[in-house]
Amino acid sequence: MNAKQMFRSAAAGFAAVVVLGLPVLAAAAVQVGPTGKTYASSAVTCVVNPATNQLAPMVAAGLWNPKRTASATVSLNGVFVATVTGANPAAAVWLADGTNTVVVALSKRSADSYQFVVSSGMCAPDTSGNTFSPDGTLEYGASGKSYATVTPGCALNPATGLGQPYVNLFDNGGWVLNVSVNGVPLTQLSASRPHTPIFLNSGPNVISVASGSLSTDWYVRDGGAGICAIGNTLSPDGTLEYAASGKSYATVDAGCALNPATGLAQPFVNLFDNGGYLLNVSVNGVPLTQLSASRPHTPVFLSAGLNTITAANGSLSIDYYYRAGGDGTCVLP
């Protein structure tokens, strides 16, 4: 790093809005370049890359306290990444292993350069040393300082107002543990706060539990669609989801089959009537079919993105299921 670069603390509110909606820099420091007009993260952060849905090394770079008319280009190792402006002053820069040079150029003559070194496997969570309780319900971190529930539950997330899958994370001895999810700081555990719920986003979630620089425990949890129906329960093996009413259930993991309606291979789940009820089934608000004693189950093909499946027993009850359909296509086995 340039010795003349100045380190300043970024306001959490500023950091939370400028980096593509990711609050990854809240509570992190930034460095301001010699021009006083650009900045970059002071350290590399591991964040889920939406292009790959995998944890990857990232920094933010852009304009520092810009005027509305200001603009600059951001490049990585000489390759253009993005144009930043007063209205959109920051860009996420995804780094590769080794030395990375990020340049924020105000013009051909004025630019600030920032260097970051990424060690191989920096963002690869190592869970190889983790162990499980005899009944398989708890996973213990390699350090022994923390443990987490294995199967997600479903609860209201006060931060989003939605029902979301979650796991519980525990401090296993009164350590001071800094907890992050997908690279975003969440909370600190200690003797006075020995556990916390971890709400899961859609897809894979990487939970890190750091005891200073002494050790880091890693846990990986699949958040499915990132939304769930409160009151639903899972079968002991996690393959079936039972609705709160008890009148229906559905497979959890999607299969792949030819959809006769589209002629395409699409992901699907099976929905079952759990007692010969008359259940009107809809997908994303569109009526699909009716289940009953004479038609006790049906495949439900999934469209791209989030799919909401409902099974209504007249006005008596409505069962909800949420399933992620990916890009809406799949490859037949």
Question: Which contacts (CB < 8 Å, 24+ apart) does range 122-126 have?
Answer: 122/44, 122/46, 122/57, 122/97, 123/46, 123/55, 123/56, 123/57, 123/183, 124/55, 125/55, 125/206, 125/208, 125/218, 125/219, 125/220, 126/218
Residue 155 burial class via C-beta count within 10 angstroms: exposed 0-12, middle 13-18, buried 19 and up: middle
Is the pLDDT at 6 greater than 50? The verdict is: no
At 26 the pLDDT is 31
Q: Do 131-222 and 6-118 have the same topology in CATH?
A: yes
Does domain 131-222 fall into CATH 1.10.10?
Answer: no
Q: What ranges do the domains of the chain cover?
A: 6-118, 131-222, 233-324
Is the pLDDT at 105 greater than 60? The verdict is: yes
C-alpha angle with apex 54: 139 to 137, nearest 5 degrees? Answer: 15
**Mean pLDDT computed over every residue of the chain:** 89
Handedness of CA 186, 203, 16, 70 (dihedral sign): positive
C-alpha torsion angle, residues 188, 143, 151, 50 (rounded to 10): 70
Handedness of CA 228, 232, 233, 237 (dihedral sign): negative
What are the structure tokens assigned to 311, written together? 């099974």
Specify the pTM.
0.66
Report the C-alpha gap between 267 and 300 in whole angstroms. Answer: 9
* 170-197 confidence digits (pLDDT tens): 999 999 999 988 778 899 999 999 999 9
Please state the rounded mean pLDDT for residues 67-81: 96
Task: Provide the CATH number for the domain formed by 233-324 in this structure.
Answer: 2.60.40
* 277-305 confidence digits (pLDDT tens): 999 999 999 999 999 999 999 999 999 99
Does domain 6-118 fall into CATH 2.60.40?
Answer: yes
At 1 the pLDDT is 37
Please state the rounded mean pLDDT for residues 5-29: 34
Is the pLDDT at 133 greater than 60? The verdict is: yes
- Please, which pLDDT band fits residue 53 given cuts at 50, 70 and 90? low
